């Protein structure tokens, strides 16, 4: 099936599944901090050359440098080393079979990067994607997975955002069968470096059969992370964890299944998150959380120890109606489902 035909059938399916005003309420294009920030919207490689790649060697060469470029990934590629993505780059999977395994992706000291429509799985050396000291990164419509049965320390994170990175949007991704999903701000020694940065938006992501860090955030009294319209199913221990002075605004999310704790600002890092620190957990300072539009917590617990100053997102966005969030996220998140 060609891409235009796929979009036609997908659009038709959405029209049947939702009220007629649904497409006016769900946001399929870029939204959040990667769009609305002092630098300008994230455009990736727009305006540059387009390169198709199907081998690790081709991919490494294609993403290097800072000239604008769109790199289209075809098929499964096993990376022998971590892939360093240059600034002004779009890495976009073709169809539903584009798949990265072996080693993960790094956006280090970069700007203006889009990673879209890729399956990324079973990364053993580090995170699936690490964003470090970088600005304007959009991680959209990808699928991340491994094997949760190995426990918390066999695999690392799926998308980690660290070291003063800023203006990031993580949207429409399908995270599943993994232990530690996403960490924002990772080391107390970089607290001062991170201060005033780490503006991150998570929206319309679908988490299923996960352990912890959906996501976990540290640092940032002056700003916050914004989570809206995400779906959590069977998040076994701790979904959203705000600690070490971190601030979050949580709106219109849905929690289902065996989800123990939907949201916590208590600073304790539970043993199921970092078992190597202490068998009783690792004490950090508490974080902050504010609630905007209604969330559906389901059977999950909520532990807000202190409210913060981040009451309203500083950009425009549209919330999907709460009752539609589960269906919308299941239909729209992951690869092969980009619709604009």
CA atoms within 13 A on the CB side of 128: 27
Cα separation, 259 vs 90, whole angstroms: 35
Under 8 Å CB-to-CB from 19, ≥6 apart: which residues? none
Residue appearing with tokens 């969030």: 325
Catalytic residue among 72, 136, 213, 337: 213
Helices marked H in 117-204 — which ranges? 191-194
Structure tokens at 316: 């425009």
Kindly tell me the burial class for residue 40, based on how many C-beta atoms sit within 10 Å of its own C-beta (0-12, 13-18, 19 or more): exposed
Annotate 202-255 with DSSP letters as a single string. Answer: EES-EEEEEEE-SSEEE--TT--EEEES-EEEEE-S-SEEEETT-EEEEES-EE
From the list 185, 175, 243, 260, the residue with the least C-alpha distance to 214 is: 175
Active-site residue, 213 included: yes
Contact call for residues 36 and 27 (beta carbons, < 8 A): no
Contact call for residues 280 and 271 (beta carbons, < 8 A): yes
Annotate 56-95 with DSSP letters as a single string. Answer: HHHHHHHH-SSS-EEEEE-SEEE-SS-EEPPSSEEEEE-T
Active site members: 213
């Amino acid at each position: 099936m060609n891409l235009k035909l796929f979009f036609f059938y997908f659009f038709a399916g959405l029209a049947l599944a939702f009220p007629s005003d649904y497409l006016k309420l769900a946001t399929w294009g870029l939204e959040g901090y990667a769009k609305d920030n002092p630098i300008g919207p994230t455009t990736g490689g727009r305006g540059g050359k387009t390169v198709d790649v199907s081998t690790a060697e081709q991919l490494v060469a294609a993403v290097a440098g800072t000239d604008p470029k769109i790199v289209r990934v075809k098929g499964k590629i096993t990376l022998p080393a971590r892939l360093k993505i240059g600034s002004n780059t779009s890495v976009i999977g073709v169809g539903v079979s584009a798949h990265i395994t072996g080693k993960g992706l790094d956006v280090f000291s970069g700007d203006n990067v889009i990673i879209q429509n890729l399956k990324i799985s079973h990364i053993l050396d580090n995170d699936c994607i690490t964003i470090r000291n970088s600005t304007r990164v959009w991680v959209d419509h990808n699928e991340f997975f491994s094997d949760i049965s190995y426990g918390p320390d066999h695999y690392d994170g799926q998308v980690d955002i660290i070291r003063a990175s800023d203006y990031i949007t993580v949207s429409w991704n399908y995270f599943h069968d993994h232990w530690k999903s996403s960490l924002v701000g990772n080391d107390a020694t970089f607290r001062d470096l991170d201060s005033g940065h780490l503006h991150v938006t998570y929206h319309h992501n679908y988490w299923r059969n996960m352990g912890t860090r959906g996501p976990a955030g540290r640092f940032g009294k002056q700003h916050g992370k914004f989570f809206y319209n995400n779906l959590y199913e069977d998040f076994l221990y701790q979904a959203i964890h705000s600690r070490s002075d971190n601030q979050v605004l949580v709106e219109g999310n849905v929690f289902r299944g065996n989800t123990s704790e939907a949201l916590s600002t208590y600073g304790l890092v539970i043993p199921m998150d970092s078992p190597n620190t202490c068998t009783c957990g690792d004490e950090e300072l508490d974080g902050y959380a504010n609630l905007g539009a209604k969330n559906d917590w389901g059977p999950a617990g909520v532990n807000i120890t202190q409210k913060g100053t981040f009451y309203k997102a500083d950009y425009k966005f549209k919330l999907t109606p709460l009752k539609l969030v589960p269906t919308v996220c299941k239909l729209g998140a992951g690869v092969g489902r980009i619709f604009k």
